[in-house]
Amino acid sequence: MGLGLSVVCGASGGLGPAVLDAMAALGDPVVGVASPRSDPEKLAALRSDVQWLRADLSDPDAVEALWRTIDTLGEVRRLVNVTGGFAGGRVVETSPRVVREMLRVNLETAWWSSREAARRMTGLGGGMIVNVGSAAGVELRGGAAAYAVSKAALHALTEVLSNELKGTGVGVNAVAPGTIDTPANRAWMSAAELAKAVSPERVADAIAGFCKDRDFVTGRVAQVV
């Protein structure tokens, strides 16, 4: 596939640092994208060898502008969509605001970035897009309805885009971990839940596995336990 940029969207969240480490280990320069509200100094302290950019990833116009900036940095060969959020609640008790927010952060952010990456990668003759879904979007057991449906929609986007890009050399895959052991999740998890949690490094390794040139796979949603 050759040298090129790896872009990690949502790179400053709980999973982001592990994904940045995994992408950097592949040997290419890494661009980290964070929220517009992020403190530039804190981002630089998080990882100084990453080129940090900030954008509202749910705004298609802002994402287009972001990718015009990325174009000045190099050719993107890998995109990882980490951005996401969680809300609990059954269907009958979930507000319209929560439904819209879950779709915004878990589906739309990946949609707009994937659209921009796919346009560029097809012109380059190859690349890899990896979305961070969730086991909740595979199992669909209920209890966190808007979250589960939004992640299932992200898995569907993964498969649809993979089918649209067949024959171009561009792969699209997703990882679907259970609850990830992040500081935010540790705040509410019991000891039993924590014992079953997935480490960020385990998720990042699964993402990196899709990005290695020798293991080209597309259209897969891989559960990570």
Q: How many helices (H) and strands (E) does the chain have?
A: 10, 7
What pLDDT sits at residue 39? 96
Q: What does the pLDDT look like over 88-115, one tens digit per residue?
A: 999 999 999 999 999 999 999 999 999 9
- Helix-, strand-, coil-residue percentages of the chain, each rounded to 5: 50, 20, 30
Judge contact between 217 and 173, C-beta under 8 A: yes
Instruction: Say which amino acid occupies 75.
Output: E
Average pLDDT value over all residues in the chain: 94
Residue 2 has pLDDT above 50, yes or no: no
Q: What does the pLDDT look like over 34-84, one tens digit per residue?
A: 999 999 999 999 999 999 999 999 999 999 999 999 999 999 999 999 999
Choice between 191 and 142, residue whose per-residue pLDDT is larger: 142
What pLDDT sits at residue 3? 55
Q: What is the pTM of this model?
A: 0.95
Residue 1 has pLDDT above 70, yes or no: no
Neighbours of 4 (CB within 10 A): 18
